Chains A and B, each alone.
Chain A
Amino acid sequence: MASIYKTLSSNDITTVRDLLHEAIPLTASIVSGTYGDNNIKVYENDLFESVFDYPYLSSSANHIFDLTAGVSNNSPLSGAAVAASLDPTPKINIYNEMAQILAGFDENGSVREFDRDGDLSGGEQLREVFVVNFARLLTKDEIKKQSFTLQVLTGGTVTSPDSLMTISDYKALTQYKINSPAGEYGILYTGSAATAGTGVGLIYYQAGVAILTASLFDGDAPNYIGPNGANSSVAADNFETSIDLFSSGSISGSADAFRNRLYNISFNNTIEINSTIYFCRANNNEFNYSSNPTYLSASQIVVKNDPQENPLAYVTSVGLYSADNELLAVSKLSHPLEKNPTDELVLRVRLDY
């Protein structure tokens, strides 16, 4: 009689996790320039703007990231430094919303500020920040550590910048932080030395959010961020500092200025593939016969010419059954395998989830 069912033991089943990645390049041609602002969605509430990879009225367009800006309650920009006509509350609310999710709360129940070096016991905080919130389409399960690079053009004018600043999560593979409720995060540096305390932002790998200090654009002419008016080719029309920018513009104005200085973003994402592998073993004395109607013709085994030969069968598929013999899945071989009493087979069946 043909063997039909064989119970899989715990030694025949194993689970594995594999990582698939995507290299994601986002050039400046997407975030500013090519499509005008037709791929930038600015909302009535002016709390953030969404960047698409194609004019967003097209059904083919994909949302790639949101851009916003926030200031902490403890920032000087939360009060008198802000132009009277501009209410700082939206930026404060944005900062608090982001910070409570990404940085969490302290022991008093107050929202923590973004910490520059990730050491919550002291040091400087990032109080005026740009927030780049990547779409799940791009980050998938998480951003891969030590692969994130963001490049911004600074200095000169928007149309003729004279510096390129490269920001990366240098050494994050070994120096990432775990003290955030949103998962693991790394420190973004402008130099590959990754000197403690010199970070300019944070990258939250599972949340897919990059925080960048606005002080990137502080200082002299080389750090001008740009446009303070219609004429983006005139140096005098630049915002010279982040103070100027944050205190003189709306959130979308700040986001636009940042977006027009973005040169490139690149990172690898990670997709986890969880699999169960079933090792289906056909021992020498098993599965050498078939109950298939075509196996016999006139009481003779079709694939045997001589009655004295060993029994022979061809394995074409493996069925996986539940404990009560319900067929759950069928795996097919690319070509039939010969099975006879002189051979044993191990068929490796993998189920991905």
Chain B
Amino acid sequence: MAYIFKFSDADRVVNLVKTNPRVSFFCYNGLSYYNNQYPLSGAFSASILGGPSGYVSLYEQNIDRSGSINFANSDVVSPAASNTIRDPFGYAVANATDPTSYYIGANPGAVTWKVKDGTRINFKTVSTKEFNLSEGGNPFYNDYPLTASIQKFYYSAASDKMSASSQTSSGVYVSGAISYLYALKNTMNYYAINNPAYEYSSSFRNLSASTPTPGATNVGLVTIPSIFYGDTIKRGSVNLKFYITGALMGELQDTNQNGSLIQVGPPGSPGSGSTAGVILYNEGFVVLTGSWDLSAGSHTEDYVESGTPATPSWINFAQTISSSAPACPQSSFALDFSGSHKIPTLTLFAQADKGDLNHSNNPTYRDKNTQILLTTGSTGYTQNPEALIKNVVSSSYPDPTGSFAKTTYISQIGLYDKNKNLIGIAKLAKPVKKIPGREFTFKIKMDL
């Protein structure tokens, strides 16, 4: 029998669990490695998770798949005579065609799709223009996996950080564009109140300027997607290491926990003790401006452009993972930090007191030889009021059983809202025997 009890205030506890998972990226020879993972190759895919090395797959759903589903097939796309929704599998069933004829590749993965409707919810990969031009009822689709990884951008002092909207001589309007670095201007200035190192433009540098404007400087920008750190990067946990042929040439840390990345090692290295950049903890950006030669003139390598040797400096940190950069195989880079996740949890204490929860309406609770239906007809339906409960009390002997005692086994706990809608079920690993003289407290914990 189902019993419903109300949780008292003392039975409900809301907590906040804070976790700081450690994250590491190692960049070498054009690739990055996330937490020292090397991409596994499978029977169908060079990377079973579907993304390149250093990338995290959001759902890890299409494991070792190759190919997709053909939403662009003419059968599916052209307006059908009936008003069926034109997705491949729905179309296949409605029109008795072979669904595998819409497969692309030997082992296609799942594809997410939705129909254009009045809610206007859409994939971010579909432009507003494309969405508006599409007829209602048409499916939009998006292939898995959804991946993310760190990226590196290099802004030379000579490059424009933004271009204003303009009009050509023939009257055509050209939209302006801003770089990621320029987009961080307000954010960096916001933090400059606490730490002047964040100042976007100051007496000695101007991150948005390009030569010959005074203050123009070379800048390296490392972007870290929030999936790697959660709410924020833990202050003081960031560590950048610059290696050349395996030897540590420089190490940056935020030793003051104010966002300034200070070179802390190796001892006596060029630039030791200097600030090489800042980190935006909440936004996940590392802005590097340190341009001194970490090798003290002993090493050059093509970091930014092929055929243009440059000295190893912090602005070239992790440049190897940039798609436009050379591999620079003699240098390697390590980026370590801790994320920060705040997980609200609700803990509930469900009491099973003595004398409660000692009956069940489960059909197997009664003796199977007892008929539950007594009479039924046009005027009534009567159950047997003397239906026997199965005696499950164990005995030392197989027959007879032990003396009858009301016994139930609690296998799960349902959570109801104030309107008695079932909103959650907690299952026990194994049923708990409940007899009238026993009482239990079940601790139910869930992440909110």
Point out residues on A near B: beta carbons under 8 Å.
16, 18-25, 27, 29-30, 34-35, 53-54, 58, 60-62, 105, 107-109, 137-138, 144, 146-149, 151, 166, 168-170, 172-173, 192, 264, 266-268, 273, 275, 350
- Check if B6 is an interface residue, CB within 8 A of chain A: no
Query: Closest residue of chain A to B100, judged by CB?
Result: A264
Q: Which of B113-121, B248-256, B406-414 contacts A (4 or more CB under 8 A)?
A: B113-121
Q: B residues within 8 A CB of A30?
A: 107
Question: Considering the complex, which residues of chain B in the window 148-171 have a beta carbon less than 8 Å from any beta carbon of chain A?
Answer: none
Given the known inter-chain contacts A108-B372, A147-B87, please indicate yes or no for A27 contacting B92, CB distance below 8 A. Answer: no
Query: Closest residue of chain B to A137, judged by CB?
Result: B61
- Contact of A275 with B119 in the complex, beta carbons under 8 Å: yes
Docked Cα-Cα span, A301 to B284, in Å, equals: 34
- Check if B363 is an interface residue, CB within 8 A of chain A: yes
- B92 contact from A138, A266, A275, Cβ within 8 A: A266
CB distance from B107 to the nearest CB of A (A): 5
Docked Cα-Cα span, A169 to B117, in Å, equals: 25
Given the known inter-chain contacts A35-B43, A54-B42, A147-B87, please indicate yes or no for A25 contacting B110, CB distance below 8 A. Answer: yes
Q: B residues within 8 A CB of A149?
A: 89, 92-93, 99
- Contact of B114 with A60 in the complex, beta carbons under 8 Å: no
CB distance from B65 to the nearest CB of A (A): 8
Enumerate the 9 nearest inter-chain pairs by beta-carbon distance, A residue then B residue, closest first: A192-B96, A266-B99, A18-B119, A147-B89, A54-B63, A168-B93, A147-B90, A23-B111, A18-B121
- Check if B373 is an interface residue, CB within 8 A of chain A: yes
What sequence of 0s and 1s flags, for each residue 81-101 of chain B, a beta carbon within 8 Å of any chain A beta carbon?
Answer: 000000111101110101110
Docked Cα-Cα span, A278 to B48, in Å, equals: 42
Given the known inter-chain contacts A107-B376, A109-B372, A266-B92, please indicate yes or no for A22 contacting B113, CB distance below 8 A. Answer: yes
Q: B residues within 8 A CB of A107?
A: 373, 376
Query: Closest residue of chain B to A108, judged by CB?
Result: B373
CB distance from B34 to the nearest CB of A (A): 14
- Check if B109 is an interface residue, CB within 8 A of chain A: yes
Docked Cα-Cα span, A207 to B169, in Å, equals: 65
Task: Report how many residues on chain B are interfacial, defined by Cβ distance under 8 Å.
Answer: 43
Docked Cα-Cα span, A266 to B93, in Å, equals: 10
CB distance from A105 to the nearest CB of B (A): 6
Given the known inter-chain contacts A34-B43, A62-B61, A170-B96, please indicate yes or no for A146 contacting B90, CB distance below 8 A. Answer: yes
Query: Closest residue of chain B to A20, judged by CB?
Result: B114
Q: A residues within 8 A CB of B43?
A: 29, 34-35
- Contact of B110 with A146 in the complex, beta carbons under 8 Å: no
- Contact of A170 with B114 in the complex, beta carbons under 8 Å: no
- Check if B177 is an interface residue, CB within 8 A of chain A: no
Docked Cα-Cα span, A56 to B222, in Å, equals: 36
Query: Closest residue of chain A to B48, judged by CB?
Result: A60
Docked Cα-Cα span, A22 to B108, in Å, equals: 13
Q: B residues within 8 A CB of A60?
A: 40, 48-49, 60, 63
Query: Closest residue of chain B to A170, judged by CB?
Result: B93
Q: A residues within 8 A CB of B191?
A: none
Given the known inter-chain contacts A29-B107, A107-B373, A146-B90, please indicate yes or no for A21 contacting B114, CB distance below 8 A. Answer: yes
Q: A residues within 8 A CB of B115?
A: 19, 21
Docked Cα-Cα span, A275 to B120, in Å, equals: 12
- Contact of B64 with A54 in the complex, beta carbons under 8 Å: yes
- Check if B282 is an interface residue, CB within 8 A of chain A: no
- B63 contact from A20, A61, A350, Cβ within 8 A: A61
CB distance from A279 to the nearest CB of B (A): 14
- B64 contact from A53, A137, A172, A275, Cβ within 8 A: A53
Docked Cα-Cα span, A181 to B417, in Å, equals: 22
Q: A residues within 8 A CB of B106?
A: 27, 29
7 new A-B contacts at CB < 8 Å, known A146-B90, A148-B93: A16-B119, A21-B113, A21-B114, A23-B112, A25-B99, A27-B107, A170-B96
- Contact of A144 with B100 in the complex, beta carbons under 8 Å: no
Q: A residues within 8 A CB of B92?
A: 147, 149, 168, 266
CB distance from A51 to the nearest CB of B (A): 13
Q: B residues within 8 A CB of A109?
A: 363, 372-373
Docked Cα-Cα span, A320 to B372, in Å, equals: 56
- Check if B103 is an interface residue, CB within 8 A of chain A: yes
Query: Closest residue of chain B to A172, judged by CB?
Result: B93
Docked Cα-Cα span, A107 to B69, in Å, equals: 46
Docked Cα-Cα span, A325 to B69, in Å, equals: 49
Query: Closest residue of chain A to B381, judged by CB?
Result: A107
Given the known inter-chain contacts A54-B42, A105-B363, A149-B89, please indicate yes or no for A266 contacting B110, CB distance below 8 A. Answer: no
- Contact of A151 with B96 in the complex, beta carbons under 8 Å: no
Query: Closest residue of chain B to A271, judged by CB?
Result: B112
CB distance from B204 to the nearest CB of A (A): 24
Q: A residues within 8 A CB of B118?
A: 16
- A146 contact from B49, B61, B93, B98, Cβ within 8 A: B93
Q: A residues within 8 A CB of B111?
A: 22-23
Docked Cα-Cα span, A313 to B354, in Å, equals: 65
Q: A residues within 8 A CB of B69?
A: 23, 25
CB distance from B323 to the nearest CB of A (A): 26
Question: Considering the complex, which residues of chain B in the window 20-78 have a beta carbon less than 8 Å from any beta carbon of chain A?
Answer: 40, 42-44, 48-49, 60-61, 63-64, 69
Between A20, A30, A147, the greatest number of chain B beta carbons within 10 A of the residue's beta carbon is seen for A147
Between B43, B48, B60, B90, the greatest number of chain A beta carbons within 10 A of the residue's beta carbon is seen for B90
Q: B residues within 8 A CB of A266?
A: 89, 92, 99-100
Docked Cα-Cα span, A109 to B365, in Å, equals: 12
Q: A residues within 8 A CB of B49?
A: 60
CB distance from A132 to the nearest CB of B (A): 16
Docked Cα-Cα span, A21 to B114, in Å, equals: 6
Docked Cα-Cα span, A286 to B29, in Å, equals: 57
Q: B residues within 8 A CB of A137?
A: 61
CB distance from B421 to the nearest CB of A (A): 14
CB distance from A304 to the nearest CB of B (A): 21
- A264 contact from B42, B93, B99, Cβ within 8 A: B99
- A18 contact from B64, B110, B114, Cβ within 8 A: B114
- A25 contact from B42, B109, B113, B372, Cβ within 8 A: B109
22 residue pairs of the A-B complex, CB under 8 angstroms, read A18-B119, A19-B115, A21-B115, A22-B110, A22-B111, A23-B88, A29-B43, A34-B43, A54-B63, A60-B60, A62-B61, A105-B363, A107-B373, A107-B376, A109-B372, A147-B87, A147-B93, A168-B92, A170-B96, A264-B99, A268-B87, A275-B119
